[in-house]
Amino acid sequence: MNWHEVIDERSLELHGVIARELRADPAKLDLVVAWIQRFLDDPERGEDSKDALREWLGIIRQGLPSVLAAIEDRSDEGQRLRQSTPFAVLMPQDERARIFAKYEALRTRTHPARV
């Protein structure tokens, strides 16, 4: 397994926690929308980043089932979307730290990605 594959698995696990948070309290999507809006309103932010967040905003507007499908999608499309995730605001920091430590421990057992 290469390091990029490990990072993708880590992202999927992190988003699993976010999915759990959203299932428990769908109103937390409002926090995400507010964060996105602040980002979009910031003139210092790049358009590429804003485009990705506009895409997420479109998914969020489709409702919770669409959001959950996107963040738990194992396809290349799901992986692409998770790379510009706006959901970090929902991540419990203790779980984030635990997951990052778990995957960091795998670093020495991976090989660099082939380009």
Residue ranges of the chain whose pLDDT lies below 50: 115
pLDDT at res. 30? 97
Q: Which residues contact 85 (CB under 8 A, 6 or more apart)?
A: 11, 15, 56, 71
Q: Are 109 and 2 in contact (CB under 8 A)?
A: no
Cα→Cα distances 74→37, 56, 69, 110, Å: 27, 17, 10, 20
Q: pTM (2 decimals)?
A: 0.84
pLDDT at res. 99? 93
